[in-house]
Amino acid sequence: MAAPSTTPDVKTPPGRAPFLNQIQNDFMRKADMWNRERVLQMRKLKAKNILTGLLLGGTVASIYAYSIMAIKQETFLDDLDEPERAET
């Protein structure tokens, strides 16, 4: 046999919230305020992270493009001749 619950079940009619006292309402307001502040901080952090990611990606892309262009301009390998093959 299961042990009886020490707290009674609260049954409220549909569409009606259970009654809360003033202390609980105050705590809910404070918790909501804390959550809103946290969300604002996270939005700011997300915007900074996106900006940082775009800057790093742009830097990498520009270094890559510069490297490719620099290699295309080099002609030192064009000056080398193929070694002559010895005829046997």
Separation of alpha carbons 18 and 10, rounded Å:
8
Instruction: Measure CA of the first residue to CA of the last residue in the chain; give whole Å.
Output: 102
Q: According to the model, what pLDDT value does residue 44 have?
A: 96
pTM above 0.85, yes or no: no
Per-domain residue ranges for the chain? 22-73
Q: According to the model, what pLDDT value does residue 66 have?
A: 92
Task: Extract the residue ranges of the chain whose pLDDT is less than 70.
Answer: 1-18, 73-84, 86-88
Separation of alpha carbons 41 and 83, rounded Å:
67
Q: According to the model, what pLDDT value does residue 59 have?
A: 98
Q: According to the model, what pLDDT value does residue 36 have?
A: 95
Separation of alpha carbons 1 and 61, rounded Å:
69
Distance from chain centroid for Cα 71 = 36
